[in-house]
Chains A and B, each alone.
Chain A
Amino acid sequence: MIVISKLIIGFLILLGSILSLISSIGILRLPDVYTRNHAASKAATLGIISIMLGVFLYFSIHEEHINTRVILGIIFVLLTSPVAGHLINRAAYYTKTPLWKNTVVDDLKNKEEG
C-alpha cells in the first residue's frame, strides 16, 4: 500500500513538473499572444493541479494529516486560471495586438464594424 502510494505520488509530481516545463517551452516557441495563452492557461493549470494533488496525497497518507487548504487551492486554480487567460486575450485584442501571419479567419473584426 505504502509503496503503491509512493509510486502514484511520484508520478503525479513528476507529471506536474513536466507539464509546467512544457508549457514554459510553449511560451517561448509559439508565435503570438493568443497561441502562447493557450499553452500558459492549459498546461500550467493541469501541472499545478497535479503537483498539489501529489502534495495532498503525500501528507494525508504518510504524515496522516489531511490538509484541506490544498484542496481549496486546487479549486481556486481551476476556477480562476481560465478567466485570467480570457481577460489577457481580450485585453490583447482590444489593444490591437497583431495576430500571427498564418491566421485564417477573424470573425471578431466584423463585430467591431457592425
Chain B
Amino acid sequence: MAFQILLNSFIAFIWMFLHNSYSTSSFLVGYMIGLLIIFGLRRFFPRRFYLCNVLAVINLVLIFFKELILSNISVLKVILSPKLNMQPGIFALETSLKKDWEITLLANLITLTPGTLVVDISDDNKTLYIHAMDIDDVEQARNDIKNSFERAIKEVSR
C-alpha cells in the first residue's frame, strides 16, 4: 500500500515537472492522473488497489466514533440507574489476528465499546481477557461486535 502511494506521488511530481508549474493544484491534477494510471495497472501489483485500504481505514474510524458514543450512553445508564444490578465478569475471547499492531488496535476498540475493558492478553497473542460490565445479556452481542471489528481490521490490513 505504501509503495503504491509513493508511486502515485512520483507520478504527480513528474506531472509537475512536465508542466513546469509548481503549485498545489497542479500536484493534485497529477495525483488524480496517477490514480487513474495505477488503477489501470492494478493487476501488476502484488496487493490490491490502495484506495480500497483507504476506504477501509475511513470505515474503521467511523465505527470507532459510533462505538465511543454508544459506550458512553450505556455507561451513563448504569451509573445513573438507582440500583446497581449489573453483573460484571471477565471472559475470554479468541482472536485470529496475528500482527502486534492489529491486536493493539482491536484492544483499543474493545476498550471503547459499550461495557467492555481489556484486562490482559495471553502470552501467545491468541486470547484476549475482557472485563464486561454486564455479562449475561451482553456476551453474545459482544462477540458479534468483536467479529465485526475483527473483520474491519482484517479489511484494512489485507
Binding site for B on A (CB under 8 A): 19, 22-23, 25-26, 29-32, 34-35, 37-39, 41-43, 45-46, 79, 82-83, 85-86, 89-90, 93, 99-100, 102-108, 111
Chain B hits for A35, CB < 8 A? 86, 88, 133
Total contacts A to B, CB within 8 angstroms?
107
B76 with A100: CB separation less than 8 A: no
Interface centre among A26, A32, A89, A99 (most CB of B within 10 A): A89
Evaluate whether A39 and B79 lie within 8 angstroms (CB atoms) in the complex, with A29-B84, A82-B111, A103-B88 already known.
yes
Q: How far is the CB of A107 from chain B (nearest CB, A)?
A: 4
The main secondary structure of chain B at its interface with chain A is mixed
Residue B87 CB within 8 A of the other chain:
yes
A107 with B86: CB separation less than 8 A: no
- How far, in angstroms, from A34 to B88 measured CA to CA in the complex? 9
Total number of B residues with any Cβ neighbor in A under 8 Å: 33
Partner of A107, one of B75, B90, B111, B115: B90
B72 with A43: CB separation less than 8 A: yes
Q: How far is the CB of A52 from chain B (nearest CB, A)?
A: 14
